[in-house]
Every structure is written in structure tokens, then in C-alpha cells.
Amino acid sequence: MAVQLNPYLGFKDNARAAMEFYQSVFGGTLNISTFKEFHASQDPAEDDLVMHAQLEGDNGIVFMASDTPARMDYTPGNTFNMSLSGDDEATLRGWFDKLADGGTVTMPMDKAPWGDIFGMCVDKFGVSWLVNASVPQA
């Protein structure tokens, strides 16, 4: 049995905009379903909120997200990060630059003490990203 771990991001009311942004960064296919489509809306004002979104990006990237209806607790925090790693430095740098656009670079992409190229940023939706490009060791 194959198992895959997928990050799931929670937003207050901007999951659609966030996931469309991530699709512009990573490419791939984005599927979005609203609370109304699943007959799960308890407030007509929340009909168009995202109940579930899944991005199947290029290069095997898969993650999900949803909006949080008023009846559920929403407490944004800094206890999680999205991490991207691999050996294609050009692709990883490109994604880092796109994610950082409109956000904040907290550590520019540069040589890390462990020898790889590493950077950190917070995107315009408040999601923290760690990007690590492996450098072949001599």
C-alpha cells in the first residue's frame, strides 16, 4: 500500500486566492470545491468559501487547503512550514522568487552551513516556506 503525506493549509476566507497563487508558482491541476457544492454551508454568506482545494503541481507537489467557516476555530500560527527540497537549484530558486514576491524573505537563498543552497520566506498569505537545493558533495 502506497502512502503519501500531503500538507493541508487552513485559511480564514482566502483559500481560493492562495491556491490559485500556488498554482501560478508550481503549475499543475487545481481542483476547488465550495461549501455550497457539498451542501455543507450553514450560512449563505459562506456558500462560496472553499471546503476543499487540491493542487497537484508539476514535479510531484501535492497539497490541499480550505477556508474556515465562522462556526470553526481559526487561529493562525507559526508552528508549521512548507518545505521544498531537491537537486534542481534553478527550479527551486524560481519557486522561491515567486513565493517571496509580495511576501517577506526571512533568509535569502544562499550557501548554508551544511553545504546546500537554502532560503526562507513568508508568502503574501502568511505561509512560511523553507527551500533547500542540494549541492553535490565532493
> pLDDT tens-digit profile of 103-129?
999 999 999 988 899 999 999 999 999
In CATH, what number does 8-67 get?
3.10.180.10
Q: What is the pLDDT of residue 3?
A: 63
Q: Which three cell numbers stand for residue 1?
A: 500500500
Model pTM?
0.86
CB crowding 27-48: b at 16 or more within 10 Å, else e? ebebebebbeeeeebeeeebee
- CA 138/CA 132 separation, integer angstroms: 18
Domain 82-133 matching CATH 1.10.3720.10: the answer reads no
pLDDT 10s digits, 84-97: 999 999 999 999 99
103, 121 contact by CB (below 8 A): yes
pLDDT 10s digits, 2-34: 667 789 999 999 999 999 999 999 999 999 999
Identical fold between 8-67 and 82-133: no
The residue extents of the domains of the chain are: 8-67, 82-133
pLDDT 10s digits, 54-81: 999 998 899 999 999 988 888 877 668 8
27, 57 contact by CB (below 8 A): yes
